Amino acid sequence: MTMKDIFNDILSPSGGAEVSIIPVLQGDALMKVNESDLPDSLPILALRNAVLFPGSVYPITIGRDKSIRLIEDAERTNAFIGAVPQNDLTVEDPHKEDLYTYGTVAKIVKTLEMPDGTITAILQGFKRFEIDSIVEYEPYMLGRVRYLDDYAPENDTKTRMIAESLKEKASSLIRLSPMVAREAAAAIKSIESFEFLVNFIATTIEVENFMDKVELLQYGDLRARAMKLLSVLDTQLELQKIKQEINQKVKSEIDQQQREYYLNNQLKTIQEELGMDDVEEFSQLRARAEEKLWSPEVQLIFEKEMAKLERYNPSSPDYSIQYNYINFMLDLPWGQISNDNLDLKNAKKVLDEDHFGLDTVKDRIIEYLAVLKLKGDMKSPILCLYGPPGVGKTSLGKSIARALGRKYVRIALGGVHDESEIRGHRKTYVGALPGRILNGINRAGTSNPVIVLDEVDKLSSDFKGDPSSALLEALDPEQNTAFHDNYLDIDYDLSNVLFITTANNIDTIQPALKDRMEMINVSGYLAEEKVEIAKNYLIPKQIKEHGLEKGQLKIEKSALTRIIDEYTRESGVRGLEKQIAKIARVTAKKIALEEEYPKSVKKDDLKEYLGLPTNSHDVQKGNEAPGVVTGLAWTQMGGEILFIESSVSKGKGQLSMTGNLGDVMKESAQIAFQYLKAHPELTGLSYEEFMERDIHVHVPEGAVPKDGPSAGITMVTSMVSAYRKKKVRSGIAMTGEMTLRGRVLPVGGIKEKILAAKRSGIHTIIISEENRKDVEDIKEIYIKGLTFVYVKGIQDVIDAAYGC
């Protein structure tokens, strides 16, 4: 077959989608191009693991969006392109510094769309060039280039000897290389042109070091390029010989392994004939089964599974799967229940030792123990502790286990999106495992541990199933007596397990799951409570963890108060513990360096230990100017204060809003504006004057998303203050949803909002009359020093804000 025949075969339509991997050399008539026909600037196609040489046709796989766009444009306009190798193959969007300096002018002969969405373009190389600069990067690179000539040597004896050496070495390398088609060797022998020969071999060979191939482009002297190519061929020949030796050695080792496998099978057959099988191991499994307190039904299933195991060949994969299943079945604590400590006083003492406050949760546990003590048997409650981070929800589960004398298991559910994490995989699957609940019971060794399902509100679902739906069976007291794990495939009794779930935001919990749990709100702490927690729990803990002695670190109450007020901003105590840990580290460093340090840390020493305060309470600024009113908000971190700012300017009676507001909050602002538009007398303006003014509402901290209806009355008060040019009373904050008729509706998160108000020095809170019952449910300690103004309508809100 001639070179022209190979070339025509690739370009023929009957070739379909299959592309030959042999680069094809062309005749002089096909290869030559006048430099005057070439443009000064070329679209640059970055090549990864490919080099195109002049006088060759080569298929290139195109996958990047910019490259596909370039190929499509060039094919449509029949334009020249520049094929340039890429230096760093990992760069997805290469720039000039990521490209090699030299490339080859090419035209697109044909493109083929591949099933995986990529394009294979057959490029025809013409002439080398050097990139001067990249003038554009979009929609793809466009480079200004300088064209380079190739200098062919005289057809003397030396040139012919070099050509013969190239053919010989290239043919040898092709025979050793599995990646190059054998037809390439025949093509090499038929080439007479020295230039074609060098470029064809350079394009054809596969090299270990890609840059060796790239460097060949820089040689304009074809004899110099040929000598460099001979050096590359010698290196590749040595590497291929080494690879062949390694492959031969590996093949011999595999043959030896197959021989050993065959002999081992023969040996096992002989042992079975002589009765030397796994009888002893099977007897041990049955002995363990006799100690289990399982039902006759489970015993029958065990015998069936053992019969399967005995039929399997120990060398088969099914044997290990079946053995692991039976082993897990025997590891489970069927009917094994630890004795509960029913001393109620001791339980209360343990709970108080570990946690300050949280009386609702503690009372519920004591109630459970009291019924258990009187009745002797009771289904365990399923509690959901919800509240802001750092208030002790997760650690409370550990304390409950200690108070009851039960084992403790924690299962983190944050980010879990596979149902099999809860129910397990079927044992027939490779790598199958039981679900997390049975795994936890297996680790505990008893059937009545305390299991904390942490962050149950952060479960997600996808095509693998919904884990929260899988939890419905486990957390339903009427169903969990027969919990079905896919791996075990036998009903297991979870009714004795005390499940405690934790969550930050119960709104994201599936309603059906929420209905099965007893919801207990674990709200944030007051500053006074945090001081007590720090003194009794956090400071002793950090002293122990940092290797200090009891008298080496003391923090005065005034210093703790300042830390809480100026260095933390939270409902819980996690940030407070971090600050105390920092003081402990600095103290430990001073002791280790034998430096002087204060035995008792005072509030004036905090700057040295903790740096400048990171939290400032700027509530008063909300009352120093007209149009600025303080509101109360609820977040997953607890309660927060926020400021609503309004500004009036001349205009056409329009409203504008900023501050990264959500749709619901924007609607609240629209309702407030429309209400004032319908009742301009509240603003002290006539309707005509109202319509001659624009108002702008802004909620500071624009980078933080904000949403919800509870800022409704705050927004209308801010607008009234701006229209009247009269500031509201100092020290007040408000929260409540408003309707278009001017009614004030109740909102949630009252306790968290009250704590935020107290932290910020607010003394008067305006809320809906319908929230009165929520305030009355809160302990006196939380609302001490606060005045509540209960309102029914917007007129009441305005009167309260101005003290009317």
Q: Which residues are catalytic?
A: 710, 753
Beta pairing, strands 600-601 & 142-148: unpaired
Query: Rounded distance, CA 225 to CA 200, Å?
Result: 12
Query: Rounded distance, CA 310 to CA 174, Å?
Result: 54
Cα of 501 vs its chain's centroid, Å: 23
Query: Rounded distance, CA 803 to CA 176, Å?
Result: 96
Q: Would you call 164 helix, strand, or coil by DSSP?
A: helix
Query: Rounded distance, CA 104 to CA 106, Å?
Result: 6
Phi-psi bin for 137: left (phi > 0), alpha (psi -120 to 50), beta? Answer: alpha
Q: Would you call 665 helix, strand, or coil by DSSP?
A: helix
Provide the 10 A C-beta neighbour count for residue 262.
10
Let me know: does 108 contact 74? Beta carbons within 8 Å.
yes
Show the CA angle centred on residue 411, arms to residues 407 and 415, nearest 5°: 175
Q: Which residues contact 107 (CB under 8 A, 6 or more apart)?
A: 74, 78, 79, 80, 81, 123, 124, 126
Query: Rounded distance, CA 262 to CA 268, Å?
Result: 10
Cα of 540 vs its chain's centroid, Å: 36
Q: Would you call 274 helix, strand, or coil by DSSP?
A: coil
Q: Look at the alpha carbons of 662, 664, 667, 671 in this order and tell me if their dihedral is positive or negative.
A: negative
Sheet holding 518-521, edge to edge: 408-412, 450-454, 498-503, 382-386, 518-521
Query: Rounded distance, CA 736 to CA 717, Å?
Result: 11
Token pair in block for residue 355: 């946690």
Query: Rounded distance, CA 94 to CA 39, Å?
Result: 22
Query: Rounded distance, CA 644 to CA 628, Å?
Result: 6
What is the DSSP annotation of 621-648? GGGSSTTEEEEEEEETTEEEEEEEEEEE
Q: Would you call 46 helix, strand, or coil by DSSP?
A: strand
Nearest to 497 by CA among 480, 478, 517: 480
Alpha helices in 274-316 (DSSP H): 279-290, 296-311
Q: Would you call 777 helix, strand, or coil by DSSP?
A: coil
Phi, psi of 691 (to 5 degrees): -75, -5
Let me know: does 71 contact 43? Beta carbons within 8 Å.
no
139 upstream amide cis, omega within 30 of 0: yes
Phi, psi of 31 (to 5 degrees): -90, -40
Let me know: does 601 contact 555? Beta carbons within 8 Å.
yes
Show the CA angle centred on residue 507, arms to residues 503 and 512, nearest 5°: 90
Query: Rounded distance, CA 389 to CA 119, Å?
Result: 52
Let me know: does 50 contact 60? Beta carbons within 8 Å.
yes
Query: Rounded distance, CA 82 to CA 379, Å?
Result: 77
